[in-house]
Amino acid sequence: MLKRKLPPNHPGFILKEMFIEERDLTITEVAKGLGMARANLSAIVNGHTGISPELAIKLSVAFGNTPQFWVNLQNNYELWHAEQKVDRTSIQHFYKKSA
């Protein structure tokens, strides 16, 4: 697996920069349009909370993309951070390496 040194952007950063600010929207407007509390959306765009599958569906409807787009952003972010934490040297292998 190719290891990236720089972490991927938090999906909330992408939501804020590429979808909210690009359209001259406010957090309040988007939160209302998504049917969620402004504080919850603010926590996401500030990188304190992730994007749930339910929110991914709402965002896909609101911005015309797919839920998978948002889920992939979140998964890539979480996986990168997990890769930094896991000590692979202490894990037992249960497969045979090819000769």
pLDDT recorded at residue 96: 83
User: What does each C-alpha distance from 15 to 1, 5, 22, 31, 45 come to in angstroms?
Assistant: 27, 23, 10, 12, 7
pLDDT single digits (tens) 18-68: 999 999 999 999 999 999 999 999 999 999 999 999 999 999 999 999 999
**pLDDT confidence of residue 3:** 62
Whole-prediction pTM: 0.86
CATH of 11-71, one of 3.30.70.100, 1.10.260.40, 2.30.40.10, 3.10.50.40: 1.10.260.40
What span, in angstroms and rounded, lies between the C-alpha atoms of 33 and 57? Answer: 13
